[in-house]
Chains A and B, each alone.
Chain A
């Protein structure tokens, strides 16, 4: 399996909801990433996990909470989001921190 999978593909949520985005890879990669991509903009790094430990948090608001239950899974828990958080959320993984990153198809999030 050489793909990064993400679920759900689309998510619509209200500002008071709690939801989670999921990401999975079975390539044995030890680094996993969350990015946020707004329309017609490049991906912006949110979080980096290295060997299941959070190593980078790029000043992301606490309403986004990452979790890495094991080396294959990465979650992003969402709570009390704002409409401006609507975006495509991308997950990626890599063998090491300076290796090629493999991206998932993304979850299209809409916050009403």
Chain B
């Protein structure tokens, strides 16, 4: 079965510490990969996608095809980074579900002062 795994339900770090939110996927081919973020009382929004290779709010994510991972990293966490983070692959050729986002279970990041 095609799926995405975010092994940490909760990740708690101190301000200024590095943070890595893990994401592994099991898809054949080359899926498009996204990270979505949901801040408290805000709507779900795109953080970044691997194809753009951007750094957004200091976050980066590298696609590692060998490990089938798309971990999200930031060298120095800030309190405002506290949120729920979802890894979400989209497989362009996944049968009838072409183009669907499949959300991982999410990791709640808590950055303490």
Contacts and interface: CB of A to CB of B under 8 A. Distances in A.
Given A45-B101, A103-B43, A56 B96 contact: yes
A97 B11 CA distance: 31
B98 A97 contact: yes
Contacts of A42: 86, 103-106
Interface in B82-108: 86, 90, 92, 96-106
5 contacts: A92-B44, A97-B90, A97-B98, A101-B101, A104-B43
Interface string A90-112: 10100011101111111000000
Nearest to B105: A42
A100 B49 contact: yes
Given A42-B103, A96-B99, A98-B92, 14 more contacts: A31-B99, A41-B106, A42-B86, A43-B44, A45-B100, A56-B96, A97-B90, A97-B98, A98-B99, A100-B46, A100-B49, A101-B101, A102-B45, A103-B45
B20 interface: no
B81 interface: no
Name which of A45, A90, A98, A102 has the most chain B CB atoms within 10 A of its CB.
A98
Interface of A: 31, 41-45, 48, 56, 90, 92, 96-98, 100-106
The size class of the interface chain B forms with chain A is: 20 to 34
A109 B45 CA distance: 21
A64 B32 CA distance: 30
Contacts of A45: 100-102
Contacts of A98: 32, 90, 92, 99
